[in-house]
Chain A
């Protein structure tokens, strides 16, 4: 079984600054996906960024980037130029890839980190 750990229950950052959210995971699998999801006060789950384990290059999406360290089983999220709209709960999540590349839609989530961006 996989576990995902987010050791920072809460973080805060000033607007326009950079913040990094930590995530570690434990798995014996070699093929998997890793995700960061954002949950604003509206409760909607929004995909922020995705990383395939076989890719060495770190994923980036505009102001969001990850530092994926496969050997260390670490997957941190960096938010640059933080904006007030980034205030949300952020979840790190793991998805195993089964034979043939199927995933079955099964995610294992971390506990979440509440990020507050201050003006």
Chain B
């Protein structure tokens, strides 16, 4: 059972570079979301999607783009990385039962 798969697990970028964090789920969940985890701040919602073609901003969306062309995939794009985006990123999926299923996280360092 794959569940939620995130790639890459580790990435180092230079300021100004772009990259995409990939997220895929095989549970046919409607909802998908991206969170970032920073020390002392818990996890904060970046963007979320309620279905293919529908996305919306969360608490900390600046500097990130998302799209959802299929139910399974929800990539997170950093167009011009900044040191403030150094963080651990989690993708999650869920249905209306409330429980979120998380990927294993991606540690991103921006130099």
Contact = CB atoms under 8 A, between A and B. Distances in A.
B53 interface: no
Interface residues of B, number: 26
B58 interface: yes
Place the interface of chain A in its size category: 20 to 34
Contacts of B102: 44-45
Contacts of A47: 99-100
Contacts, number: 67
Interface string B32-73: 110100001111110010100000001000000000000000
The binding surface of chain B is classed by DSSP as strand
B42 A105 contact: no
B21 to A, nearest CB: 15
Given A104-B50, A105-B31, A107-B43, A45 B90 contact: yes
Given A50-B99, A103-B94, A104-B31, 7 more contacts: A45-B92, A105-B32, A105-B48, A105-B50, A106-B33, A107-B45, A112-B42
Interface of B: 29, 31-33, 35, 40-45, 48, 50, 58, 88, 90, 92-94, 96, 98-100, 102, 104-105
